[in-house]
Homo-oligomer: A and B are copies of this chain.
Amino acid sequence: MANGEGSSARLRRPAQVAEAIKSLIVEGGLRAGDRLPTEAELIDRFQKAKSTVREAMRILEAQGIVTTRSGPGGGTFVAAVSSERASALLANYFYFQNLSIEEVYEVRRALEPELAASLAGRLTDLQLDDLEAILERYPAAPKTAEEEREHHVASLRFHGKLAEIADNQLLGFIIGFIAKILTDLTVYRHLYKAPNEALWREGREHQRALLAALRSGNARAARQVMRSHMTTAQRLMEAQAAEVGKRFIA
């Protein structure tokens, strides 16, 4: 498990203990749900003060790899890091970066069509209906900036849903992450320009066509439609002149 500090930096005691506990997990081959020694045992084993051990636990908890419960039968347990947690931690990194729309879309243009192609013909009717439902929630063109924002969030949810369904966990995570930061950006953005109806209509046509291609199992068409959709989406975003980066977060 990665230690997260530059290996040169001298670690303070809580961080040292946290590393030692990580070793217990890795060396011991512990899996999600497995129990770690109690606080008292750890204090005894490492010969450290209670607060030191507790700070170590907070470090591991912040990273999402353990959870703690009090009470009998409680204790500290190994946890599989959730994708939500991983996304949130990664978002902190980009908080300090200032991504441009162009940067985000260069990645989307490369990945989303692949995901679409890989999913063609592999979705259940239930999943297809879910996707359809997302589109149906906003059948009319947005009239106000507020409506435009809701449309955009719904559209991103569509992509987030595709990401969840992905067989490829890495691809799914990345696409889901991008949908998340674009959603946060959209939600917390307060300056809007007038909705661009032509672009909206074009985007909507693409999503319909995409759904049809996914349903019929036409991977080539799905890839092609998603490619066009990304181009349109990028133009929509740029038309809004939003800036990604600082302030895209909760």
Contact = CB atoms under 8 A, between A and B. Distances in A.
Interface of A: 1-6, 14-15, 18, 26, 32, 51, 54-56, 58-65, 80-97, 99, 102-104, 106-107, 110-111, 114, 118, 168-171, 173-174, 178, 184, 249-250
Contacts of A83: 93
Contact of A96 (B4, B80, B102, B168): B80
Q: Is the interface of A mostly helix, strand, loop or mixed?
A: helix
Contacts of A58: 14, 55-56, 58-59, 62
A162 B34 CA distance: 40
Given A26-B249, A62-B58, A88-B2, A95 B81 contact: yes
Contacts of A93: 64, 81-83, 85-86, 173
Contacts of A168: 102-103, 106-107
